[in-house]
Structure 1
Amino acid sequence: MELGPLFASLAEVIRSIPRSELLVAALMAMVAGWVGSAMVRRRIAFGGMLRAASSVVLGLVLLTVMLQLSRMDPRFDIAVPQLGMPEQIVEGGETRIPMAQNGHFWLRAEINGVPANFLVDTGATYTAISEDVAQRAGLTPRRGGIPIMLETANGTISAHMATVDRLSFGNISATGTDAVIASNFGDTNVIGMNVLARLKSWKVEDGVLVLVPKPADIAATPAI
């Protein structure tokens, strides 16, 4: 087993800790639990309370992580509370995207009103925004979020989640969308499955990607 990639991923997580309040809270709770256990063994007052409090905090951190991750699956949009985060909605009319000469599907979109080119990638779990576009669109990492580890052509990198108020392309508009931002992600912006999975359907017909939002009475429109 090669340990190099594992150590690189661990290093990325460690570097992300100062920017993640959730990880800081988890580490502090773990230390408090260790101190509480030591106090209990030495019969020092309040050791049990400290240990119990650390367990509660760790439980809340785990619950928060689970709820954040559940936002990637539209099946949990209604069943799971949003923790103050906006509902992710994708709506509009059918949009057709012709295949580019390189065999990929590219589109021109606006993210919070800022125009940018996006690659539609059905193999990408997350919608990803380059740091340059994120800055111009006023996107900032979500407070208290956990770092997301992404596999790229340059190896594993650490990214942070942000909320896009509005992402529009063709006849489709997505609001409250989660997206990841990474300083070393490069210049490519990607529309991933957290947006595509909220469509009614998507398919490729004769070299054209057809995106259909959930309303059933939408009409076909010209390619963009």
Structure 2
Amino acid sequence: MNERGADLLLYGILLILPLAALVARRPPLGQTVKMVLAWIGIFGLALVVASQWHRVGNITAMLSDQQVSGTDTRIRMAGDGHFWADVEINGVRRRMLIDSGATTTALSVGTATAAGLDPEESPFATVVNTANGAVTARTATARRVVIGSVTATDLGIVTSAAFGDTDVIGMNFLSRLESWSVERRTLILTPRTV
């Protein structure tokens, strides 16, 4: 059975379940027809949304917490009180915490691997002081890190399993900017002009 056939079978089963429950209750015919039409409408709408999901990305980009305005990139403060940026590292997209208290950009092992970084680039491990104490990490260099309108090349990073799934943009990225500031719960990143 091909993939489309399997999808149709799944949708059929999902439609049969509420219809079977409806028949078991034995409501009057008029009410049954209304409920059947309602369920068909619900499943039809769900099918349309699922088939057009790729277009939803364009809408969510417009509603994003991160916007480019002129040459500046503006990031609204998240509900948790932090600034989270949509970042591209060597072509790999991640949501990263911007932390002005972090000296160096820190990546999880998963992100570093996905971005093609070689943590063995440096023959020696380094000790990084984090909010949770000292951690042994490896260093590498990201060829290209992009946040909105800002691009940093050859950016040093540290990576460690101790970071878990958290990826952090540190001061080594922010120090490459012309300026960065916070105005009314919005972080504004202004790239350095050449």
Q: Please report the TM-score for the alignment, with normalisation by the length of structure 2.
A: 0.60
Instruction: String of CA shifts for 1:64-123, please: whole Å, max 9, x gaps.
Output: xxxxxxxxxxxxxxxxxxxxxxxxxxxx93111100011100011111111111000000
Give distance in 2, aligned partners of 1:200 and 1:181. Answer: 27
**Taking every aligned residue pair, what percent have the same amino acid on both sides?**
47
Q: 1:153 Cα deviation (Å)?
A: 4.6
Give distance in 2, aligned partners of 1:121 and 1:108. Answer: 14
Q: 1:146 Cα deviation (Å)?
A: 3.7
Residue number among 134, 144, 149 corresponding to 1:166 in the alignment: 144
Question: SS where residue 149 of structure 1 aligns?
Answer: strand
Give distance in 1, aligned partners of 2:178 and 2:185. Answer: 20
Say yes or no: does 1:185 pair with 2:167.
no
Say yes or no: does 1:194 pair with 2:177.
no
Name the aligned partner's letter for residue 125 of structure 1: T
Q: Please report the TM-score for the alignment, with normalisation by the length of structure 1.
A: 0.53
Give distance in 1, aligned partners of 2:189 and 2:122. Answer: 33
Name the aligned partner's letter for residue 159 of structure 1: A
More relative contact order in 1 or in 2 (CA 8 Å, sep 6+)?
1
Instruction: String of CA shifts for 1:126-178, please: whole Å, max 9, x gaps.
Output: 00010011111111125345422123354321011101011111111111110
Residue number among 163, 167, 184 corresponding to 1:206 in the alignment: 184
Name the aligned partner's letter for residue 204 of structure 1: V
Query: What does residue 113 of structure 1 align with?
Result: 91
Unaligned runs of 5+ in 1: 1-91, 217-224
Say yes or no: does 1:103 pair with 2:81.
yes
Instruction: Indicate if the aligned counterparts of 2:77 and 2:185 stay in contact, CA closer than 8 A.
Output: yes
Where is the strand percentage greater, Structure 1 or Structure 2?
Answer: 2
Instruction: Indicate if the aligned counterparts of 1:174 and 1:195 stay in contact, CA closer than 8 A.
Output: yes
Where is the helix percentage greater, Structure 1 or Structure 2?
Answer: 2
Unaligned runs of 5+ in 2: 1-69
Question: SS where residue 102 of structure 1 aligns?
Answer: coil
Query: What does residue 151 of structure 1 align with?
Result: 129
Query: What does residue 31 of structure 2 align with?
Result: none
Question: SS where residue 119 of structure 1 aligns?
Answer: strand
Give distance in 1, aligned partners of 2:74 and 2:135. Answer: 32
Give distance in 1, aligned partners of 2:191 and 2:123. Answer: 29
Instruction: String of CA shifts for 1:174-204, please: whole Å, max 9, x gaps.
Output: 1111000112211110000001011111110
Query: What does residue 70 of structure 1 align with?
Result: none
Give distance in 2, aligned partners of 1:185 and 1:161. Answer: 13
Question: SS where residue 184 of structure 1 aligns?
Answer: helix
Q: CA RMSD in A?
A: 1.8
